[in-house]
Every structure is written in C-alpha cells, then in structure tokens.
Amino acid sequence: MGLLLLCNGFFMILAAAVSGIYNDGATLDITLAAIVTMMIGVLSMFYTRGHVKEVKPKEGYLIVTFGWVVMSISGTFPYLFSGAIPDVTNAFFETMSGYTTTGASILDDIESLPEGILFWRSLTHWIGGMGIIVLAIAILPLLGIGGMQLFAAEAPGPSADKLHPRITDTAKRLWLIYVGYTVAETLLLKLAGMSFFDAINHSLATLSTGGFSTKNASMAYWNDQPLIQYIVIFFMFLAGANFVLSYFAFKGKIQKIIKDEEFKFYTGFVVLFTVIVALVVYYKANVPVSDYHPMVLGAEESSFRHALFQIIAVITTTGFVTADFTGWTPFLSIFFFGLMFLGGSAGSTSGGIKVMRHLLIIKNGLLEFKRTLHPNAIIPVRYNDKTVKEHIVYNIIGFFVLYMLLFIIGALVLGFLGLDFESAIGGAATSLGNVGPGLGSLNPLSNFNDLPVMGKWWCGFLMLAGRLELFTVLIILTPYFWKKI
C-alpha cells in the first residue's frame, strides 16, 4: 500500500505540472497533496520493511481491497486541498468513482474547475482502468514480493489468458498497449479538432472506460463534430474488448481474434443493439436538428451515431453521453437499463457482469435441456472449442446470483434513503456496473450531487464491489475469511 501511495503521489505531481503550465492557481495545493501522499507512502514502507514479504491469497484480497480504499482516500487530497470539492463525502465519492472508472459525478459545473484538478480527475480513471494493482505488480518483484496473488484478486473473472508466463511481464505488456492506445487517441482527437487538453483528458477517460469529461455536456459538446465522436466510439470499442486480443492483433495472430467466441458475441451485440436503437430513435424519438452536421446525411446519420455511441458507451460502461437516452422513448429507457448489466469483455477495462459470463450462463442453461433428456450423459460446457471446468461454471453462476442480489439490496437501500423507484434501481445498477449515468433523477443530464450523504457512501461501496468483481470485496466481510485454518 505504501508503494501504491508513492505511485499515486507521482501522478499527483503530473497533475501539478499541468496546473503549473496552465497557471490555474491550484499548483501549490496539488503539489502539497502529492507530498503528503508520498510521505505517508514512505512511512508505510519504512515501518513495514521488516515484515515477511509473502503474499498468500488472503493477503492478496486484503491488499487489493484496502489498497483501493487507501488510494481513494489519498486521491481526495487534491480536491480538498484546492477547495475544488471542499466536502469530504463528495470528494471521496468523486475519487472512488474515478478509480473504479464509474464516471458518476457530484460536480454541477465541471468547466469552472482548474485544469490541474480536471487532469487529476481524469488520471484517477486512467490509473484505475487497467488496475492500480496490475501497475504495482510490475514493480513489486523489485521488493522481493510475488505478484500472482494480487493479479488473481484484481482480475478474478473467468479469463485466465496470459501473454507471458511471468505475471510481471504480462502487466508490462498490458500497460504498453494501454499507454499506446491512449497516445494514439489523443493525437487523433487533436487532429479532429479538439484542444490538446480536452484530447488527453478524454483519451484517459475513454481507454479506462471511465466517462469523466472536461465539459458539462460531456460528449454532447461535440455533437456537431461527428469525426470526434466516431474516434471516441472506436477506442471505447477497443477498451471494451479483451486487451489480450489487442496483443494478438499486434503480433499478427488475427485468426485468434476471429475465432474468439466472446469477441464475436461482443461485436454482434453492438451491431444488433445499434440497429434496434437507431431505428427507434429515427422513427420514434426526436433528435435535435442542431445535432445534424452539414457534411453528413442528416437525421439518418445522426440517429445512427447517437445509437452507436450510447450502445457502446453503456455496454463498455464508459458512460460518456451525447444525448439523454432516458428521454428518447420508454422502450429505450428499459433497453438501456438492461444493457447496464451486460458489461464488456473479460480482460478489458470495462465493468459489469461481462459478455463471457453471460455467454457461459446461457450455454449452461441450454445444455440443461439436453441433460434433462439424457440424465446419464456427460455434457460439458464448451468455450472456444475447449471444455470449461465445472468449478468455473459454478463460480460464474454464483457470481451472477451475488451480483443480482447485491443489485436488489443496493436498490432497496437507496429507496430506504428516499430515492424514487426509477432513481433507486438506476443508481444501484449504474454504481454496481461502473456505468456512470443512471435513470430518474440520476439520468445522463443530471448528476449524483443530490444524493443523501449515506447514499453517496453506499454507492461508493457498490462501485468498489463492482470494480473488483464482488468476490474480492465480499469475501473479506465473511467470518470464514478471518478464521485460522
């Protein structure tokens, strides 16, 4: 955790440098936040230097969960020290939303914030996107600590793909791809007409599937510049796909991508859902004429672009918005609410249940028909032409049940705190799935500022549980975890 705080402090120094370049008045405050964070990190490492450096599964879960909490607490310092968000609850909510790449905000006027604070806000997304733990395990071996347990706790999903036998090399390759995509999108957005500051911030938010924008209107600010939105769409799609597939693409192993079942369904869902939404938007919803661009086809192109953008933004849990999709039609409000439970691919930076889990649950469900007709037959679930081990299927079913149970409890708590039905189920779904915009009073044109104090802390817990895929957080709340065996 001390090492993570040092990393956090380093990123704060980057934000302070940006603040200094733009002379926004927050440079000293962010620098002070960085110094305090790094001092706590150094002291933590100093006082624990003599302890046994062995990370077992239990320690892995504790380090990951408390590591995220500690990072989120220290991440509030730039907001608090600068006065950008003076309230502790609001600052913690914004920071947790950043690190978990949820993108839900309590800010009413984003554009009035200093550039250094806006950059820090985007950096919290970027750090959390690939996982602050995955970043750290590339460095932990230098301290004589193995990182496999941390990686397992950080990414406990069903995908076991590794690019390299050594976990540290895997982390380095993932980060190289991550950084490369971020640089590429920044350059393309700059060439398409964004300012460099907006381009880098939106790239940080896109590749992390976060959704924090530098504009109050989010990506709707550029509704009259389709090229910018299509660039963001492309990189949101990449961020929602398994990063291992990106590695295969760079190695020229295209067949592995084509044959990957999850990628085929992920792409198929995007295409099918975009067609459905585009048709409904074109024939039933009113897309503002101001959204049309003189160089494109008018209503048809605008309907398609808004549909494609919002479908990918919700499926990948990025949360950028170009329009209030909850105001299009009642059918589409329910449709997008359902998509909040889909999620991107395993091995991506997106949240949600993940396409792979849905795919394996459906396959197992369909095979139950065969098993009923042939009770003595052994009919395994197959994925990518390989048999899926039974314990993995049980794990996925258990995850799905826990996810839906936590969603119901989450909505009940928000309802108990005073939210109406639509806002409560929307707030629980978007927080747990790390999506960003919700329904009702938490719709894409609103924010989470009016939530009661306890509601913000509760949504923060749901964000953390969802980002770490439930088991990592919930397991430490069980009495069994603390028993000595």
- For 373-420, the pLDDT digits (tens) are 888 888 888 888 888 888 888 888 999 999 999 999 999 999 999 999
What are the pLDDT digits (tens) for 11-40? 999 999 999 999 999 999 999 999 999 999
Q: Terminal CA-to-CA distance of the chain, rounded, Å? A: 26
What are the pLDDT digits (tens) for 273-307? 999 999 998 887 765 544 444 444 577 888 899 99
pLDDT score for 386: 85
pLDDT score for 296: 46
The single-letter DSSP state of residue 193 is T
What is the secondary structure of 357-398 as a DSSP string? HHHHHHHHHHHHHHHHH-TTS----EETTEEPPHHHHHHHHH
Can you say whether residue 352 is alpha, beta or left, with left for phi > 0 and alpha for psi between -120 and 50 degrees?
left
**Range name among 38-47, 126-135, 137-146, 350-359 with the lowest pLDDT average:** 137-146
**Whole-number Å distance between alpha carbons of 285 and 293:** 18
Burial pattern 327-359, b for ≥16 Cβ within 10 A else e, equals ebbeebbebbbebbbbbbbbbbbbbbbbbbbbb
- DSSP 3-state of 307: helix
Q: Is the pLDDT of residue 120 over 50?
A: yes
- Average of pLDDT values for 245-249? 87
pLDDT score for 142: 46
For residue 383, list its beta bridge partners: 386
The single-letter DSSP state of residue 318 is -
pLDDT score for 162: 58
- Average of pLDDT values for 349-353? 87
Site of tokens 């050594």? 166
**Whole-number Å distance between alpha carbons of 484 and 245:** 41
The single-letter DSSP state of residue 4 is H
**Range name among 315-319, 353-357, 391-395 with the lowest pLDDT average:** 391-395
Q: Find the DSSP H helices in 155-209.
A: 167-192, 196-207
pLDDT score for 80: 95
pLDDT score for 154: 56
**Whole-number Å distance between alpha carbons of 205 and 219:** 12
pLDDT score for 143: 44
- Average of pLDDT values for 199-228? 92
pLDDT score for 393: 87
User: Which residues are CB-neighbours of 161 under 8 A, at least 6 positions away?
Assistant: 242, 244, 347
What is the secondary structure of 203-249 as a DSSP string? HHHHHTT----SSTTGGGGGTT-HHHHHHHHHHHHHHHS-HHHHHHH
pLDDT score for 314: 94
**Whole-number Å distance between alpha carbons of 342 and 43:** 42
**Whole-number Å distance between alpha carbons of 194 and 311:** 23
Q: Is the pLDDT of residue 145 over 50?
A: no
**Whole-number Å distance between alpha carbons of 428 and 441:** 13
- DSSP 3-state of 322: coil
Q: Calculate helix-pair angle for 2-22, 57-74, nearest 10 degrees.
A: 30
For the beta carbon of residue 433, count every other beta carbon within 10 angstroms: 28
C-alpha distance from residue 181 to each of 207, 228, 481 (Å) = 7, 16, 39
The single-letter DSSP state of residue 142 is G
- DSSP 3-state of 2: helix
Question: What CA dihedral angle connects 293, 294, 298 and 302, to 10 degrees?
Answer: -10
Q: What is the pTM of this model?
A: 0.89
**Whole-number Å distance between alpha carbons of 168 and 166:** 6
User: Which residues are CB-neighbours of 174 under 8 A, at least 6 positions away?
Assistant: 130, 134, 163, 243, 247
- DSSP 3-state of 285: coil
Would you state the structure tokens that stand for residue 473, as one six-digit string?
């957080």
User: Which residues are CB-neighbours of 275 under 8 A, at least 6 positions away?
Assistant: none
pLDDT score for 452: 94
What are the pLDDT digits (tens) for 148-183? 455 555 555 555 555 556 666 777 788 888 999 999
- pLDDT, greater one: 469 or 263: 263
Q: Calculate helix-pair angle for 261-283, 299-315, nearest 10 degrees.
A: 140
Would you state the structure tokens that stand for residue 349, as one six-digit string?
């930076």
For residue 386, list its beta bridge partners: 383
